[in-house]
Amino acid sequence: MIVRKETNLTEKIKSKTLFQSEIETIISSEESNKELAHRYNVSKRTIQRVKAGLIDGIEDEDYQLCDESIKMKYQLQRSREANQRINKTNRETFRIADLIQTMTDEFIEVVENSKHHNFTTKIHPNKTNEIGVIQLSDLHFGERVTEVNGNEFNFEVASKRLQKLADKSTQMFKARGITSIVLACTGDLINSDRRLDEVTSNANNRAKVIYTAVEILKQLIQHLNQEFNVTVATVCGNESRINKDLGWVDFMAFDNFDAVIHMFLEFIFKDKEGVTVLPMKDPLEMVIDVNGHNLCLIHGHNGLASDSACESKVTQLRAKYAAQNVRIDYVIFGHIHSSRISDLFARSSSIVGGNAYSDKALGFTSRAAQNIYIFDVDGIDGIKIDLQKYDYYKGYDFDKSNDVYMKQNDKSNIIIQKVIK
């Protein structure tokens, strides 16, 4: 007696077992085993087993059931994989949030017991109906540039250029009798570390970069407060983000070192008269009332910064707010390190100037500059302040040891070992 080996439907499908109708055709066929094997794409051994009654065929109904079963298994596996990715993302997001909170708490503890907390500010009486705005965009603290078309950049250069910006702005604002200004930070306050060339050009790790950035910005605000009431407003850029991918929802967009720096400044100047650091409610867009004009702050990495898209993107942005009954009078942003001042918007450059990326990848020369604005009741004036040259400026104080982690062209750090022959 011949004993048939039982196989389940899935195994039959995977092994390409013949259908019942095909088996009946093979049994009744007068063709040779070789010809039948070629026709049905099976071995001659399989044909012999079919004729000997050792192989059952698959009914069409069984095949459909098996096919649906396989599809369901694949769908279940895909769902499991998707859930694993979501869980991994959530774990990473909460880990980063905990890291930021821990770092913030530790920084606050340090500040409370340091010179950062022991200073005074002052209030200035209003003398005019005009308000000044200084835009801080793409500061890229931590980046080091060594001799790119004559340009250099590091913490020391950054502090000197910002000191020059404060002096030039003060001269222009005082000439108009201005006593209140806005420091509008539009993102990328520190440098990225995602590309290899960015990592190798950074002066230090991000923790020390943030601390040094806060040191310098605190002194900039104190410098300005000698003559003006200062309001600080901040939105986040793309280079300072913590996650690899861009986040557009608030929960993800707040995972940004620009937000961390802003929180530190908010704490340092808490209860300091004459200086107001506005809370960051939306990390990507902020609208503030400056002398009756609604000024919108964004970074520009949503496609708005390019010359070809500026007008249409600004129009879309204003239309979005108009649909919510909010009028936008002026938009400022940065992102591509190139200045442009127009009737309805302005784009600021960077304090970095030219670097390897702008020179080699983009093919253009960029000068260090920032924009300032004068808002009066009748209109808005925009002015570009060139910061490329910074002679005669001492710069703000900071811990110089934080500027040498990735020191370049220092041959004393190069060790050449002799090959033993």
Rounded to an integer, what distance in angstroms lies between the CA atom of residue 314 and that of residue 379?
A: 18
Single-letter amino acid code for the residue at 299? H
pLDDT score at 171 = 97
Average pLDDT over residues 273-277: 95
Please name the residues in contact with 308: beta carbons below 8 A apart, sequence gap of 6 or more.
Answer: none
Average pLDDT over residues 41-45: 82
Q: CB–CB of 257/242 below 8 Å?
A: yes
pLDDT score at 82 = 76
Single-letter amino acid code for the residue at 184? A
Q: CB–CB of 202/191 below 8 Å?
A: yes
**What is the percentage of the chain residues whose pLDDT exceeds 90?**
37
* Exposure string over 51-78, b if 16+ CB within 10 A, otherwise e: eeeebbbbeeebbeebeeeeeeeeeeee
pLDDT score at 64 = 59
Indicate if the pLDDT at residue 56 is higher than 80.
no
pLDDT score at 328 = 96
Please name the residues in contact with 180: beta carbons below 8 A apart, sequence gap of 6 or more.
Answer: 124, 126, 131, 132, 228, 229, 231
Enumerate the β-bridge partners of residue 347. 333, 340
pLDDT score at 336 = 83
Average pLDDT over residues 94-122: 67
Distances (CA, A) of 416 to 200, 408, 421: 20, 17, 15
Rounded to an integer, what distance in angstroms lies between the CA atom of residue 400 and that of residue 212?
A: 9
- Higher model confidence: residue 174 or residue 302? 174
User: pLDDT tens-digit profile of 378-389?
Assistant: 899 999 999 999
Q: CB–CB of 277/266 below 8 Å?
A: yes
Distances (CA, A) of 129 to 191, 195, 273, 330, 376: 37, 46, 21, 18, 6
pLDDT score at 10 = 47
User: pLDDT tens-digit profile of 306-364?
Assistant: 677 788 889 999 999 999 999 999 999 998 888 899 999 999 999 998 876 666 665 66
Neighbouring CB atoms inside 10 A of 378's CB total 9
Q: What value does the mean pLDDT of the chain take? A: 79
Query: Is domain 114-409 in CATH 3.60.21.10, yes or no?
Result: yes
CA neighbor of 170 nearest in space, from 136, 134, 199: 134
Q: Choose the most confident range, by mean pLDDT, from 49-58, 153-162, 197-206.
A: 153-162
Indicate if the pLDDT at residue 287 is higher than 90.
yes
- The structural domains of the chain, with segments of one domain joined by +, span 9-58, 114-409
Indicate if the pLDDT at residue 158 is higher than 90.
yes
**What is the percentage of the chain residues whose pLDDT exceeds 70?**
69
Average pLDDT over residues 403-418: 50
Burial level of 219, CB count in 10 A (0-12/13-18/19+)? buried
User: pLDDT tens-digit profile of 398-407?
Assistant: 887 777 644 4
Indicate if the pLDDT at residue 159 is higher than 90.
yes
Average pLDDT over residues 98-123: 68
pLDDT score at 278 = 96
pLDDT score at 3 = 41
